[in-house]
Chain A
């Protein structure tokens, strides 16, 4: 069973967290921190599995992670899951995100919390792998997007602030780029 799915960036900032077993709020944060601590220490050329963690389930507990540029995708699972299977499941998840968002980046995960969760919900439900077939997942998501769009068309004209962050975010973007340049 998958106990938690965590996504955080290279600095340990959570970008997505989904727990399939209940942990109190502070415990969840601690799990994210500890997992980041464990994972970030590891080189790129070592294996993607970690065993035993003090928090989630003791010795019957594995961390399987993948590192993509700025993001860590971490699946916390119990011993009944196949490591290699989960490793490829992460790949499926990321590829699906990529297809749905057309070139996914960290910002997509922040601003589309809901969508990312829907994609994840098609992949894993209640800690169990629901669908592993990427085409199938994408079809479902598109189906839902269509529905959403048709709905939005109906609502057009309502005085709601909807802007793409492309325009609004420009100032932040520039600021951050400056920062990077300084570093």
Chain B
């Protein structure tokens, strides 16, 4: 195993396993190492280590251990810890040794602490005292050990307890102490930048320390401040330049030379700082550029370290956006790097080339051959960097070739980060150079094919936006759109497509579905149903498929009968509850032969004025006005029949035996669900002729008032009303035929007489009663949903309400009462009751989230805000379109949530169609 245990570590070092510099490991340690090295397998090793740990744990905890033994034990523990075994038991002993030991023991104690503990470890609190004591000590070594430990271990909240002492150490006479103090403060600055605001001056003074070592670390500290806020650190430019001048002029002692170069690391560090500062100051820029010239001149290229400085200089020059001659000179130097035989220098050269080319692609011309060659470079690192150069030199003429090279890499690479980087490059090239549309589409799709699993959300969003802007708007070339659609369909058909690509493809198909008319119906349907029924499909894809199918039906692209049969087949498969519901809705739409003209303008009826008529009729017939569930609870002396578990059961007027008439007005004022808008607002919304108004600001209007208000309502709106009227009639008129049974279910009519009455009403009054009946009988929160009805989605939305109503009903009922299956509510009333009951159990479990939410919403006592946020969260995480649909209703009143919802709606536009998101967005902005 350790076949080469005794090999040399450097070629210059002579062989030998001896150590003459001091003590050696104890016998125990040596034996242990021997055992470990003899172990033949991982389990053997684990066994040896476990025995050793057991011994150690016993020994270390034994009383009266000498410090020397303790040291030995802790060294062993540190070694075992490095091997990756759990050594938690030793932590406390490490702290103890640091506390009790002196000098050398203490140092081992601190070292063990550094190796075994971390900033958030519980024992750090114990160590703080020790650190404080050692910082006060007059022994320099104690000071140093304490500061090393402090830098590594002290958490942000404990910094104040040490800060004054460490700041004081900045004035210490030994440069070693000052040096460590500066670095310690540097660590603190990382953790809590604000705490060090008051000692900024003393820190900056360290920059001018007479010891170059202290100066060097001070530069690092300054570098951090500059990195955070370059503009605020301009005053540091001059001291830095003067230090650099001193170094370059070799004014420092020779001991700081490395390979004959004066203090190279400090030079690198200072040039880095300056290159961050120069963009903020013109004065500094001239100074820096002059000193850089000097460095470039004096730099001997014999030593490797000189290249490191050269590299920094060139980086600085690039950042300065300098004069042409400096750039040209640096290009000359880059040449030396790139042509070097040393792979390290080649790599750095290519790296510099990337930054040079970003300034001026012309610099790459010289390296043409080299670039082409290194695309096949055997060293993958250089090879990768070269693609950065390629990206830099891309222009309209060569973008195709460049892109193909990048895509080639994307295909073969398996490195996640590299793939993401390549994809970013391709997408940015496509957006920068819109040459041929087909090429653009191909590039984007290939990117998605190869890497969509590795891309993050923002990247995918960017791609979608790019596609949306370029190809999905109305004035796009239909040929391109056709091509795009073909691409999407091939992606949908393949079973290797990654989920993000599927989502994007579905979204595109949804937007371009009018082109699907040319395809055979069967094929189109197969395309979607196959996807829907594929195993392990995530919900987001399923809902995206549903959205597409919705569109197909609404735009009449697929023959509706075949669609319905196909979808009915799907219902027999295992699908999430919500998806099944949606399928039912679509089937219903098919059977009604509904179509929506895509050119229809969208007008929202937020107040459901067209339902007022029915409300009025019912109220006149003696029904109880709808009250929100929470009010139902709080009203004393009221005799409402409520099931015990369901405070929000749809207790409509029919269930009320006796009502205190005087209360109606009061309730109506808080009843926001029934036409809460003012008259003027109402004028802009959907309107139905023959509708009387029952509800005003003050609640229910008198019968006499009512008559007067009706004509106003009629004249209030002209545009689109007739169209919508037709649509609404078309939508709801068709429903009448099979309404008899289902209405019974919706409304919970107890006896047939009542029901017949109601149906008569319904038939004459078109289409309001049906919805309104529902509306007045369901809890407020579900009701709000219907406010977002828009004409294209009117059926869908109404059905949603029905569904939700049903669901809330279901979830709050006892099993015996659970006769009303939601399927019945969808119109499938012929389904036998027992069968539906069976179904129910399963569906409820599937849609448990859904039900749960409904349940909570139905609960009158639950905090409304909490509900909202919960619902919102749920809808975001599950990607549930319906939840989202529902939330937007609730958020109507609250501007903060409003933006939240619209944001989410926009973000989720993969499965919500973009249009509906846009509409939602506009609702929010309109209502502002």
* Known pairs A47-B382, A82-B268, A110-B33; A162 contacts B23 (CB<8 A): yes
Q: Which chain B residues border A130 with CB–CB below 8 Å? A: 179-180, 183, 217
Interface residues in B13-31 by Cβ distance below 8 A to A read 13-31
Q: How far is the CA of A113 from the CA of B83 in the complex (A)?
A: 12
Q: What residue in chain A is nearest B139 (Cβ atoms)?
A: A147
Q: What residue in chain B is nearest A66 (Cβ atoms)?
A: B10
* Known pairs A98-B13, A106-B6, A147-B103; A133 contacts B417 (CB<8 A): no
Asked if B580 is at the interface (CB within 8 A of a chain A CB), the reply is no
B186: shortest Cβ distance to chain A, in Å? 6
Q: Report the count of interface residues on B (CB-CB < 8 A).
A: 105
Q: How far is the CA of A58 from the CA of B272 in the complex (A)?
A: 23
| Contact size range, A | 35 or more
**Number of A-B residue pairs with CB-CB distance less than 8 Å in the complex they form:** 284
Interface with A: B343-351, B750-758, B880-888, which one? B343-351
Asked if B152 is at the interface (CB within 8 A of a chain A CB), the reply is yes
Q: Which chain A residues border B34 with CB–CB below 8 Å? A: 169, 171-172
Q: What residue in chain A is nearest B176 (Cβ atoms)?
A: A140
Asked if B483 is at the interface (CB within 8 A of a chain A CB), the reply is no
In the complex, the answer to whether A114 meets B111 with C-beta atoms within 8 Å is: yes
In the complex, the answer to whether A126 meets B68 with C-beta atoms within 8 Å is: no
Asked if B37 is at the interface (CB within 8 A of a chain A CB), the reply is yes
Interface residues in A82-132 by Cβ distance below 8 A to B read 82-85, 87-89, 92, 94, 97-98, 100-108, 110-115, 117-118, 121, 125-132
The contact of A16 among B22, B82, B268, by CB within 8 Å, is: B82
Q: What residue in chain B is nearest A175 (Cβ atoms)?
A: B38
Interface residues in B255-277 by Cβ distance below 8 A to A read 255-256, 258-259, 263-265, 268, 272
* Known pairs A14-B82, A101-B21; A133 contacts B7 (CB<8 A): no
In the complex, the answer to whether A69 meets B7 with C-beta atoms within 8 Å is: yes
Interface residues in B21-79 by Cβ distance below 8 A to A read 21-31, 33-34, 37-38, 66, 68-69, 71, 75, 78-79
Q: Which chain B residues border A28 with CB–CB below 8 Å? A: 84
Q: How far is the CA of A77 from the CA of B7 in the complex (A)?
A: 28
Q: How far is the CA of A128 from the CA of B417 in the complex (A)?
A: 26
| Binary interface encoding of chain B residues 166-187 relative to chain A, with 1 for a CB under 8 A from any of its CBs, else 0 | 0000000000100110011011
Q: How far is the CA of A80 from the CA of B223 in the complex (A)?
A: 10
Q: Which chain B residues border A105 with CB–CB below 8 Å? A: 6-9, 13, 15-17
Q: Which chain B residues border A111 with CB–CB below 8 Å? A: 19, 24-25, 29-30, 33
Q: Which chain A residues border B15 with CB–CB below 8 Å? A: 103, 105
In the complex, the answer to whether B344 meets A49 with C-beta atoms within 8 Å is: yes
In the complex, the answer to whether B108 meets A114 with C-beta atoms within 8 Å is: yes
Q: How far is the CA of A88 from the CA of B260 in the complex (A)?
A: 13
The contact of A17 among B12, B82, B151, B183, by CB within 8 Å, is: B82
The contact of A126 among B187, B213, B415, B417, by CB within 8 Å, is: B187
The contact of A84 among B22, B38, B343, B344, by CB within 8 Å, is: B344
Q: Which chain A residues border B7 with CB–CB below 8 Å? A: 69-70, 105-106
A168: shortest Cβ distance to chain B, in Å? 5
Interface with A: B115-123, B697-705, B739-747, which one? B115-123
Asked if B595 is at the interface (CB within 8 A of a chain A CB), the reply is no
Q: Which chain A residues border B13 with CB–CB below 8 Å? A: 98, 103-105
Q: Which chain A residues border B176 with CB–CB below 8 Å? A: 140
In the complex, the answer to whether B305 meets A88 with C-beta atoms within 8 Å is: yes
In the complex, the answer to whether B347 meets A47 with C-beta atoms within 8 Å is: yes
Q: Which chain A residues border B256 with CB–CB below 8 Å? A: 133
Asked if B851 is at the interface (CB within 8 A of a chain A CB), the reply is no
Sort A-B residue pairs by CB-CB distance and give the 8 closest, nearest first: A84-B308, A47-B343, A46-B379, A126-B151, A111-B25, A29-B84, A52-B417, A70-B7
Residues of A within 8 A of B (CB): 9-11, 13-14, 16-18, 20, 22, 25-26, 28-29, 32, 43, 45-52, 54, 58-59, 68-71, 80, 82-85, 87-89, 92, 94, 97-98, 100-108, 110-115, 117-118, 121, 125-133, 135-136, 140, 144-145, 147-149, 151-152, 155, 158, 160-166, 168-169, 171-173, 175-176, 179-180, 183
A-B contact pairs, 19 of them (CB 8 A): A14-B83, A47-B346, A68-B9, A84-B344, A105-B13, A110-B79, A112-B19, A113-B79, A114-B108, A129-B216, A131-B179, A158-B68, A160-B66, A162-B24, A164-B18, A166-B18, A166-B24, A169-B34, A176-B2
With A88-B308, A103-B13 known, 5 other A-B pairs at CB within 8 A are: A85-B305, A107-B5, A107-B19, A160-B66, A162-B24
